[in-house]
Amino acid sequence: MSAAREDTLRPFSVDVEPERDTVRVCPHGDVDLATVGVLREQVDELTAAGFVRVLLDLRGVTFLDSTGLRLVLELYRGSRADGWDLTVIEGPAEVQRVFDVTGLRPLLPLVDGSGWGNGHWRRAWG
């Protein structure tokens, strides 16, 4: 591993901001094979607890590999099948490039991250 890559490694964490039936899920760090299970488990627990609107905020993600991409696809499919809503706030350019290169951007509920601070996420669904 390069010294530059080691310097950018940070522990993975997931912040959760619930309000009524809506919850914002904010992963921080790399979403990859080592961390994707943590994120999946968090979203599964929240939807099982009754949240019907999940806002997955990728702005704190530093890297997204194919397992992270697959998770987003599976969450979207699951939301449609199980009757809950998923919206994904776009991450940094290097994260969004994964959605662009694979051609998945138009197929997923991605929204621009600008203007999504200070509680604006609460108004995402009206």
Which CATH number belongs to the domain containing residue 53 in this structure? 3.30.750.24
What pLDDT is recorded for position 11? 87
Q: What is the pLDDT along the chain (126 residues), one digit of tens a residue?
A: 444 444 455 689 999 999 888 999 999 999 999 999 999 999 999 999 999 999 999 999 999 999 999 999 999 999 999 999 999 999 999 999 999 999 999 999 999 877 655 555 444 444
Q: Is residue 102 part of a domain?
A: yes
Give every CB contact of residue 10 below 8 A, 6+ residues apart in sequence: 28, 29, 62
What pLDDT is recorded for position 20? 86
Pairing of strands 53-57, 22-31: parallel
What pLDDT is recorded for position 113? 77
Q: Is residue 5 part of a domain?
A: no
What pLDDT is recorded for position 2? 41
Q: Is residue 124 part of a domain?
A: no
What pLDDT is recorded for position 125? 44
CB 103 within 8 A of CB 73: no
Name the domain count of the chain: 1
Q: Is residue 82 part of a domain?
A: yes
Q: Is residue 3 part of a domain?
A: no
